Structure 1
């Protein structure tokens, strides 16, 4: 059953009760990575294995994860080459109260440092499960960045 989450603003990325932050380096330039994140929405399943479907909507996105979790999102920040952030407004994930994800892109050597922050408010059982799943989240993120980087290199 889909539930509406509490709307949060961009500052939630710093103030959320639960913050999972991961970083990885990519050889691709920030503008190419940003385009893949923010513009080429439908391609997410090709490089982020946790995502089974993604499509742009008016002002946001619809995303489905493998396993059936669904999200309706609103884009909160779209700064080409620098930052892409979205808030989850509706989901079928139980125990979630608020969720904002932010992707930051910063120059690093000859490439780009990609940082993903998963900022959430959730009931105690889900908070515990998310903290327990932190290594898996990190692995999925690093694999996604690696796969995206390879795809971008092959396309250029």
Structure 2
């Protein structure tokens, strides 16, 4: 059953009760990474293996995302500041235990490439907090796999 979550702003990624932060360098430049994140929303399913469907909604100010296993999100884009930051919050989901959820992708030049820092920020039930503590490694592996696949996609694309 889909539920509406508490609306949060961009500051939530710094103040959320649960914050999981992952970082990885890729060889693609920030502009290319930002374009893949913010402009090619439907392409997410090609490099983020947990994503089965992603598409822009609400004239580009929102996103609809579906994950393996059937989890669904309706999201609002909070920040779209090329090429440094892309952030969104979840407004509606069928995932249990979540009260609020926002994610931020922060991009920093790193030599010829980009340092990608992904912050997963949430508030929820005690069960959700415990599950995320246990599941942190899985989220980290998903992030590493996604950034590796994204980098391959961006650096192998014809110029």
Distance, in Å, in 1 between the alignment partners of 2:88 and 2:110 is 24
When normalised by structure 2's length, the TM-score is 0.97
User: What CA deviation, in whole Å up to 9, does each residue of 1:46-105 have, x standing for no partner?
Assistant: 100010100000111000000000000000000111000000000000110000000000
SS of the aligned residue for 1:133 comes to helix
Counterpart position of 2:133: 131
Q: Which runs of 5+ in 1 are unaligned?
A: none
Aligned length: 156
SS of the aligned residue for 1:153 comes to helix
**Shift, 1:143, TM fit:** 0.7
Distance, in Å, in 2 between the alignment partners of 1:81 and 1:10 is 16
Counterpart position of 1:3: 3
**Shift, 1:109, TM fit:** 1.6
Q: Which runs of 5+ in 2 are unaligned?
A: none
Does residue 147 in structure 1 map to residue 149 in structure 2? yes
Counterpart position of 2:117: 115
Distance, in Å, in 2 between the alignment partners of 1:109 and 1:91 is 38
Distance, in Å, in 1 between the alignment partners of 2:79 and 2:10 is 8
SS of the aligned residue for 1:52 comes to strand
Distance, in Å, in 2 between the alignment partners of 1:56 and 1:141 is 21
SS of the aligned residue for 1:85 comes to strand
Counterpart position of 2:47: 47
**Shift, 1:110, TM fit:** 1.6
Distance, in Å, in 1 between the alignment partners of 2:128 and 2:139 is 14
SS of the aligned residue for 1:142 comes to helix
Distance, in Å, in 1 between the alignment partners of 2:45 and 2:91 is 21
Distance, in Å, in 1 between the alignment partners of 2:9 and 2:154 is 31
